[in-house]
Amino acid sequence: MRQEWLKAQQDYIRGLVRQSTLENLQLLLTSTKETYDAIRALTHIYQEGFYRAIWAERYKKMCEWENSIEKKAKRQNRTAELEYLKNSKRKTHQNQKACV
């Protein structure tokens, strides 16, 4: 299970990092494991940065936008309800006058 996970992670890293970069990094480090650990750490830092700088900000703005739409819709619904009640009271009042 762990071997499969490591293999999948290495394949993922290969998709992100050029082979020449891997080879140059392996020359600096003593083992393949150290190379992949370094790349894995850098990938994690990159993903965290992306999450905080881009995704989280967009998510926050999207939530604010959805809330503003929701408030606007509630306001419109409430206005429509009040208008309906006002009209139905008028009709009831007119019907009562007609019966007298």
Provide the residue range defining the domain that includes 23: 2-99
Distance between CA 61 and CA 24 in Å, rounded?
41
Counted domains in the chain: 1
What's the confidence (pLDDT) of residue 41? Answer: 86
Query: What pLDDT does residue 54 have?
Result: 87
Instruction: Kindly report, residue by residue over 40-90, the tens digit of the pLDDT.
Output: 888 888 888 888 888 888 888 888 888 887 777 777 777 777 777 777 766
Summarised one tens digit per residue, pLDDT across range 10-46 is 666 667 777 787 778 788 888 878 888 888 888 888 8
Q: Residue 39: what pLDDT?
A: 81
Distance from C-alpha of 12 to C-alpha of 60, rounded to nearest angstrom: 29
| Residue 25 CB contacts under 8 Å (≥ 6 apart), including other chains | 35, 38, 39
The counts of H helices and E strands in the chain are 4, 0
Q: How far apart are CA 61 and CA 83, in angstroms?
A: 33
Reduce the DSSP state of residue 17 to 3 states and report it. Answer: coil
Reply yes or no on whether the pLDDT at 94 is more than 70: no
- Of 46, 39, 41, 35, the closest CA to residue 17 belongs to 39
